[in-house]
Amino acid sequence: MAEFTMELNDEQKEVRDWLHGFAADVIRPAAAEWDEREETPWPVIQEAAKVGIYSLDFYAQQYFDPTGLGIPMAMEELFWGDAGIALSIVGTGLAAVGVLANGTEEQIGTWIPQMYGDANDVKVAAFCSSEPDAGSDVASMRTRAVYDEAKDEWVINGTKTWATNGGIANVHVVVAVVDPELGSKGHASFIIPPNTPGLAQGQKFKKHGIRASHTAEVILDNVRVPGSCLLGGKEKLDERLARARERAKAGGERVKNAAMATFEASRPAVGAMAVGTARAAYEVALDYAKTREQFGRPIIDNQGVAFQLADMRTSIDAARLLVWRASWMAINGKPFTAAEGSMSKLFASETAKKVTAQAVQILGGNGYTREYPVERMHRDSAIYTIFEGTSEIQRLVIARTLSGMPIR
């Protein structure tokens, strides 16, 4: 087990600097254009693939870093560049985590490479969990998967929403109900292979922020997939459902569903994204405050501005500490006994919203225009308190973990 440290090793520093250079030289110059176009930035994703950032090898290298700091370090640097473009680059990772968290070795080896494609033929993947009537309330999920034993196929029907890369993905990972009586414990995850009949894109959402990232509904109409597309396999699912039924009879509730396993693994990474956006806005505000003069002196000479910047930097560093702690705990198999993963996501996402708002305020009227990037960063930051578990849900998870009570 690697010891927890806040000091990156030489190899990590080299990767960090490489990612920072890509974010500064490739992502940032393209940020405003793709935000306005509200389209997937395929040329930027292809550039990331050419240099090895958008690839299974790079993602796996960071994911399995024994210190746990590979993924959060990478997320922070890419999202420092721009949140919308960065999410287009890393959005496939959520689907990959879904397979890594729930799939067999054969499924991991078969499907994750197809999620990325290669530098000459870039692909993306989508993780589909939320539904029109089931966002935070996963127990209300209606997408249904029924097993056709005669053909060894699963038949899936339903509608997913808020899916990053939904409909344009080469591979979709879909969470569906297999046993309605078990509520959220009766869910399972399925791979939907490329060009599977019955899967179609619904409406594409026009969003407040992260506009360069494609977000859409996914319609599943009698989608049939082989039994081998059930993540983890039928035997493992039957055993899990049997345990859930026994616990339900005994009044227990300690069986995790497929979507929650994915979200638990990814929450610190989302926190790192928020840290990257917050840091970017802080740096713009700091530079502006040093050069912008009012009443014959730089505005940073005023305590009202200087103290805001002090608070911004303090919150950013505190958020990073929480994210890195949770990431280290996760890779080293330490249980989140105080919901440390949710803590990191909660604090970092709230920090991003606050810091970007303060950056707009420091820039004044300029901060409110699209001539300066803090306006876009402020819009982008709103998503962190919403996706992969709202701030309210994170607080609920933390409170339940600390108290042991079924707080509602």
Give the catalytic positions in this structure: 388
CA 229/CA 223 separation, integer angstroms: 12
Selection from 203, 199, 223 nearest residue 215 by Cα: 203
CA distances from 166 to 19, 159, 218, 370 (A): 26, 11, 6, 28
CA 92/CA 87 separation, integer angstroms: 9
Look at residue 322 and give its three-state secondary structure.
Answer: helix
Selection from 372, 360, 364, 316 nearest residue 35 by Cα: 372
Q: Is 276 exposed, middle or buried (0-12, 13-18, 19+ CB in 10 A)?
A: buried
Note whether 76 and 279 are within 8 A (CB): yes
Run of H or E including 277? helix 258-291
